[in-house]
Amino acid sequence: MSRPPQVLLALNAGSSSVKLALYRIESGQARAFAHGLLDLQRQPLALVLHGAGAPGERPLANPVQWPIAAPITDDLHEVVDSLLAALEAHGELGEIAAAGHRVVHGGSEFHGPVRIDAATLAAIDALTPLAPLHQHHSLRLIRALRHLRPRLAQCASFDTAFHAHQDPLARRFALPRELDAQGIRRYGFHGLSYAFIARQLAARHPALGAGRVVAAHLGNGASLCAMSNGRSVDSSMGFSTLDGVPMGTRCGALDAGVVLHLLQQRGMSAHDVEDLLYHRSGLLGVSGSSADVRSLEASAEPAAREALDLFALRVAGEAARLATTLGGLDALVFTAGVGEHDARLRAAVAARLAWLGAEIDPGANARHAELLHSAASRVALLVLATDEEQVIADESLALLG
């Protein structure tokens, strides 16, 4: 009887859901064959899996839904145990040989992916104060797998690593130098997404990939990254995932004096300010109705339109700032859920960058074509789908050989 194919599991943990992808290890490469979502807010719990088997195998239904009969605890032991049982019950999936994780913050310690052992796990945990609302979600998945499958190889891929080699000038705040030495500096995030976009550009449009590119990862979380020859040189997000452009519920760049005012004059607690800036601001705060761009686009309320217009203004403004770091702009790439699917927003951003030579083709934009720019545009405008899980899988496979 032939041995089942080896499978690598990529996990991308969020506060309320876990995205996952399954990859067959074939000829030294990780080949995706299924993507899934476990929504921890949905009751009853169910794993939703999309994909197809390899040629000659019975394809997975689209989608497969498996119930996850487990209580949600903080350590997620029961949920992860049930999740693994559901995956392994489907014979076509194969044998899970390793797991790779997206970890938001690598601090100054991690400049690339690492295999997880006791020491690296402790170091990742020590960085939790730098990303208090994100790091915990990856850590509990890692620990659950270590508890349930202690022999399973695990790797961590960091959202900050792609930016780790930026010039120190781009990473420094105008604060006392001893604070920089203590790690209070600009880190940048969404690095797995930007790493994938850099690879796609190099493969599909090598001349652009070697040039001056601003990539805009626009989703519920949003940021922009300046890349020169495929390497990060600056980004909109800095010390935390609050920085840069407005997001679904996060404020984006904010005068620090506002925080002082809320604490000192309004009597808000640090916890209340944290909740305000992370969960009640951004598009939700400005519109007063929704953090979802699709809902705002469909709304006739003036506040909804103002939220979208503010988003476009800030995205274009950040793209222009990053073009200054680059010394010019050869291409602007839109990616992630909003960037890939919202034609109106892309047109609004491009219109504000017309002075840089950006001119969008309305027809190509409406079709969500890969190349959006007109023949007269001096800046290439592109839409490229991102795939953070593929980067996790590739980095894990490279580590594990």
Q: Where are the domains of the chain?
A: 6-158, 206-388
CB 231 within 8 A of CB 259: no
Distance between CA 198 and CA 147 in Å, rounded?
36
Residue with tokens 């014979």: 91
Cα 248 to chain centroid, rounded: 14
Distance between CA 349 and CA 335 in Å, rounded?
13
CB 35 within 8 A of CB 389: yes
Residue range 157-185: average pLDDT? 96
What pTM was estimated for this model as a whole? 0.93
Distance between CA 213 and CA 358 in Å, rounded?
13
Tokens representing 357? 């030579």
Beta strands in 134-211 (DSSP E): 153-158
Q: Which CATH architecture has domain 206-388?
A: 2-Layer Sandwich (3.30)
CATH number of 6-158: 3.30.420.40
Whether the bond into 44 is cis, omega within 30 of 0? yes
User: Please, what is the average pLDDT of the chain?
Assistant: 92
pLDDT digits (tens, 9 = 90+) for 348-384: 999 999 999 999 999 999 999 999 999 999 999 999 9
Residue range 179-194: average pLDDT? 96
pLDDT digits (tens, 9 = 90+) for 260-314: 999 999 999 999 999 999 999 999 999 999 999 999 999 999 999 999 999 999 9
Count helices and strands in the chain by DSSP H and E runs: 16, 13
CB 393 within 8 A of CB 10: yes
Catalytic: which of 75, 81, 159, 342?
A: 159
Q: Residues, the chain, total?
A: 401
Distance between CA 322 and CA 320 in Å, rounded?
5
CB atoms within 10 A of CB 210: 14
The pLDDT score that the predictor gives to residue 133 is 81
On the question of pLDDT at 57 being above 50, the answer is no
Distance between CA 127 and CA 106 in Å, rounded?
7
Q: Which residue has the higher pLDDT, 374 or 134?
A: 374
Burial environment of residue 272 by CB neighbours within 10 A (0 to 12, 13 to 18, 19 or more): middle
Beta strands in 176-297 (DSSP E): 212-218, 222-228, 231-235
Pairing of strands 153-158, 114-115: antiparallel
Tokens representing 11? 């996990």
- Separation of first and last alpha carbons in the chain: 25
* Residue 159 bears catalytic tag: yes
pLDDT band at 121 (very low <50, low <70, confident <90, very high): very high
